[in-house]
């Protein structure tokens, strides 16, 4: 399907009308629970997924305030109408007989809420981006890339890419694959596999021939005989030449792929934290995009009623002068929490000032004042041993002048935050969001974040993985890191700061309500009557598997607003992919 980047608003209005007509004429047959894009489209009503579904015979951890377990959840018109133990009682909430899924005793939990990632970038990646988050050897890499090309019928000549979200530390060989190994996996497709923001990268024979072409606008890329491309500008040239060919159709396909991957991992809500503004030069890395256009393919997919996960948009700003001109225009022309249940705006972050000013100073303070006056949420990126201090001190100043206590300002990542500063932030109504990005390449003994200290401090805290460049999206890899303190090499790097599996699950569901804020807070993160019907069914027992196997968990059935958006066939027997 070809999407046009025009008039998303008008098409949303038109489509919600069509969806109403379709709902009347489409029988509620078995196909409606099978997770195909056609079913997803039919489940859209008034711009959001709103379907009926009854889940029975599960081990359902509701994550309500009392952490109740139930066996039955009923979802009607996208919202939860029953949680308990009687399928007969649940059926009384429906007019006819709702599609019913027997979970066969499997563990189910609320759809995960990811409070900090970069899924918008992932959807805009060039090529057929293929997450390597669950590859533990070069053979796994080969298998994952080959499966991507065949499963998704990548046309011959179409680039199969992996851009960020993994590290060679996670492979038993502790290196990237070679050109020959990529040729064996992808004989008919050019390949580009790149670590982090800027490489190093590797390509295969078809990719090498392409990147070495003298006709490229970027100039030929320097590539070793074994296919390796140096980190930095050479990787940047390869990325840029792929990006220069991206069409809107490539991007909407990438968005649907990113959504499908998220649904397979069980993350049903994503708070996106923006991109570094692309300059269109080889200095751009995987974290760069056009902050003013990168949401268009996402809106197109939602407009076509094919959105399968929920997106919340933060606007990243990096002004470098105290007039904060770009942020000022944003605050004049955008609205916080504007949109609907599937996609809406969030706050300003994870940067509010440029890289020289992000940790405080006059531009940072000017941006914070502007956001406070306009009543927006703010989230700032904090990494070093000092930046959280200057940021929290600036927040205190703005709180005293303007007041931020109800706005839920967040300091993110915080690998080195101290008890004193946690208390100061808590006092002005702030919170922290914890990322496990150190898993891939961090080193000990205190790589952070100090999960234990933070949880024990009682400050509002949630987790977000900070995928997809420096870290994986995979929430189960994050669980492994938070629970064990071990990195991808297996080294202990966060001793004494581990948290329990229950604490981690709480921070990835109910606790992240606070970080979303706005209209989402009473609707997401738990399975309770009145909340949105987002449920995931796991392939194994989260509380029972060995630590090493935590990383391999995934969802066998993902439900958003009562609609099945991912289904491996393990529970309903209708094995279908989108």
Q: Which is nearer to ligand NAG, 19 or 557 (CB)?
A: 557
Taking the complex as a whole, the smallest distance from the CB of residue 176 to ligand NAG amounts, in Å, to 5
Member of 41, 145, 412, 468 binding ligand NAG (CB under 6 A): 412
Within residues 342-381, the interface with ligand NAG by CB under 6 A covers 349-350, 379, 381
Q: Which helix (H) or strand (E) holds 52?
A: none
Q: Using CA atoms, how far apart are residues 575 and 570, in angstroms rounded to an integer?
A: 7
Binding part of the chain for ligand NAG, among 74-82, 90-98, 241-249, 540-548 by CB under 6 A, reads: 241-249
Member of 93, 134, 139, 158 binding ligand NAG (CB under 6 A): 158
Taking the complex as a whole, the smallest distance from the CB of residue 25 to ligand NAG amounts, in Å, to 32
Q: Using CA atoms, how far apart are residues 385 and 492, in angstroms rounded to an integer?
A: 20
Residue with tokens 């496990």: 436
Taking the complex as a whole, the smallest distance from the CB of residue 44 to ligand NAG amounts, in Å, to 26
- 194 belongs to the binding site for ligand NAG (CB under 6 A): no
Q: Which is nearer to ligand NAG, 45 or 118 (CB)?
A: 118
Member of 13, 18, 249, 385 binding ligand NAG (CB under 6 A): 249
Binding part of the chain for ligand NAG, among 175-183, 293-301, 360-368, 448-456 by CB under 6 A, reads: 175-183
Q: Which tokens sit at 565?
A: 């958006």
How many CB atoms within 10 Å of residue 239?
Answer: 29
Q: Which is nearer to ligand NAG, 357 or 503 (CB)?
A: 357
CB 8 within 8 A of CB 305: no
Within residues 417-436, the interface with ligand NAG by CB under 6 A covers 433, 435
Member of 240, 242, 343, 455 binding ligand NAG (CB under 6 A): 242
Q: Which is nearer to ligand NAG, 326 or 529 (CB)?
A: 326
Q: Using CA atoms, how far apart are residues 27 and 83, in angstroms rounded to an integer?
A: 26
C-alpha pair distances (Å), 375 with each of 175, 343, 370, 461, 518: 48, 20, 9, 21, 12
Q: Which is nearer to ligand NAG, 48 or 412 (CB)?
A: 412
CB 469 within 8 A of CB 285: yes
Q: Which tokens sit at 129?
A: 């981006």
Q: Which helix (H) or strand (E) holds 252?
A: helix 248-265
The residue with its CB nearest to ligand NAG is 412
Q: Using CA atoms, how far apart are residues 164 and 123, in angstroms rounded to an integer?
A: 13
The binding track of 135-154 with respect to ligand NAG, each residue x by CB under 6 A or -, is --------------------
Q: Which of 366, 363, 425 is nearest to 392 (CA)?
A: 425
Member of 7, 143, 213, 320 binding ligand NAG (CB under 6 A): 320
Taking the complex as a whole, the smallest distance from the CB of residue 566 to ligand NAG amounts, in Å, to 21
CB 297 within 8 A of CB 254: yes
> In terms of DSSP H, where are the helices of 36-137?
37-42, 87-91, 119-123
- 165 belongs to the binding site for ligand NAG (CB under 6 A): no
Member of 258, 398, 459, 515 binding ligand NAG (CB under 6 A): 515
**Helix, strand, coil: what percent of the chain each, to 5?**
35, 20, 45
Q: Is 446 helix (H, G, I), strand (E, B) or coil?
A: strand
Within residues 517-546, the interface with ligand NAG by CB under 6 A covers none
The binding track of 97-126 with respect to ligand NAG, each residue x by CB under 6 A or -, is -----x-xx---------xx---------x
CB 79 within 8 A of CB 53: no
SS3 sequence of 386-409: CHHHHHHHHHHHHHHHCCCCCCCC
Member of 46, 57, 322, 418 binding ligand NAG (CB under 6 A): 57
Q: Which is nearer to ligand NAG, 218 or 250 (CB)?
A: 250
Member of 264, 273, 308, 568 binding ligand NAG (CB under 6 A): 273
How many CB atoms within 10 Å of residue 532?
Answer: 27
Q: Which of 489, 486, 494, 406 is nearest to 454 (CA)?
A: 494
Member of 213, 247, 329, 384 binding ligand NAG (CB under 6 A): 247
CB 57 within 8 A of CB 103: yes
CB 66 within 8 A of CB 546: no
- 31 belongs to the binding site for ligand NAG (CB under 6 A): no
Binding part of the chain for ligand NAG, among 62-70, 135-143, 220-228, 259-267 by CB under 6 A, reads: 220-228
Q: Which of 502, 491, 462 is nearest to 114 (CA)?
A: 462
Binding part of the chain for ligand NAG, among 211-219, 243-251, 257-265, 542-550 by CB under 6 A, reads: 243-251
Q: Which is nearer to ligand NAG, 42 or 389 (CB)?
A: 389
Within residues 455-494, the interface with ligand NAG by CB under 6 A covers 464, 466
Q: Using CA atoms, how far apart are residues 53 and 87, in angstroms rounded to an integer?
A: 12
Contact positions toward ligand NAG, by CB under 6 A? 57, 102, 104-105, 115-116, 126-127, 158-159, 175-176, 178, 224, 226, 228, 242, 245-247, 249-250, 271, 273, 314, 320, 349-350, 379, 381, 410, 412-413, 433, 435, 464, 466, 515
């Amino acid at each position: 399907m070809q999407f046009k980047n025009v008039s998303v608003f008008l098409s949303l209005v038109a489509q919600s009308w069509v969806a109403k007509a379709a709902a009347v004429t489409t029988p509620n047959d078995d196909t409606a629970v099978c997770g195909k894009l056609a079913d997803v489209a039919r489940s859209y009503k008034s711009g959001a997924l709103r379907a009926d579904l009854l889940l029975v015979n599960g081990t359902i951890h509701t994550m309500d305030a009392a952490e109740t377990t139930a066996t039955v959840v009923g979802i009607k018109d996208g919202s939860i109408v029953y949680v308990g133990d009687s399928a007969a009682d649940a059926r009384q909430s429906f007019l006819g007989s709702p599609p019913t899924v027997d979970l066969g005793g499997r563990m189910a939990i609320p759809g995960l809420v990811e409070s900090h990632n970069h899924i918008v970038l992932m959807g805009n990646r060039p090529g057929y981006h293929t997450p390597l988050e669950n590859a533990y050897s070069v053979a796994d890499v080969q298998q994952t890339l080959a499966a991507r090309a065949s499963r998704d019928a990548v046309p011959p000549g179409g680039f199969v890419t992996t851009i960020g979200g993994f590290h060679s530390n996670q492979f038993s060989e502790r290196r990237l694959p070679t050109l020959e190994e990529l040729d064996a996996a992808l004989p008919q497709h050019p390949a580009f596999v790149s670590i982090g923001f800027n490489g190093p990268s590797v390509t295969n024979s078809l990719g090498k021939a392409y990147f070495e072409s003298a006709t490229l606008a970027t100039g030929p890329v320097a590539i070793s005989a074994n296919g390796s491309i140096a980190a930095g500008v050479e990787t940047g040239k390869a990325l840029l030449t792929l990006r220069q060919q991206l069409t809107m159709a490539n991007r909407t396909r990438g968005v649907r792929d990113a959504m499908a991957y998220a649904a397979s991992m069980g993350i049903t809500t994503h708070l996106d934290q923006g991109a570094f503004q692309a300059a269109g030069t080889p200095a751009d890395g995987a974290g760069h995009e056009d902050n003013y256009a990168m949401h268009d393919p996402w809106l197109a997919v939602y407009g076509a009623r094919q959105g399968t996960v929920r997106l919340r948009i933060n606007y990243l700003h990096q002004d470098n002068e105290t007039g904060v001109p770009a942020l000022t225009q944003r605050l004049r022309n955008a609205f916080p929490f504007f949109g609907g249940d599937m996609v809406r705006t969030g706050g300003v972050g994870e940067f509010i000032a440029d890289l020289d000013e992000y940790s405080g100073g006059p531009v940072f303070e000017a941006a914070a004042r502007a956001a406070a006056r306009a009543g927006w949420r703010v989230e700032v990126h904090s990494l070093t041993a000092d930046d959280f201090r200057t940021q929290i001190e600036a927040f205190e100043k703005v709180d005293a002048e303007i007041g931020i206590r109800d706005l839920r300002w967040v300091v993110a990542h915080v690998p080195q935050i101290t008890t004193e500063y946690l208390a100061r932030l808590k006092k002005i109504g702030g919170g922290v969001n914890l990322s496990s990005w150190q898993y891939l390449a961090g080193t000990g003994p205190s790589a952070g974040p100090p999960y234990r200290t933070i949880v024990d401090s009682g400050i509002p805290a949630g987790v977000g993985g900070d995928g997809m460049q420096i870290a994986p999206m995979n929430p189960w890899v994050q669980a492994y890191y938070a629970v064990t303190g071990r990195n991808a090499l297996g080294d202990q790097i966060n001793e004494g700061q581990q948290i329990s599996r229950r604490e981690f699950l709480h921070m990835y569901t109910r606790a992240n309500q606070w970080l979303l804020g706005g209209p989402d807070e009473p609707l997401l993160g738990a399975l309770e009557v009145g909340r949105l019907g987002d449920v995931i069914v796991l392939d194994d027992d989260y509380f029972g598997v060995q630590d090493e196997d935590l990383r391999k968990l995934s969802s066998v059935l993902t439900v958003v607003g009562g609609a099945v958006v991912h289904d491996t066939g393990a529970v309903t027997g209708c094995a279908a992919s989108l």
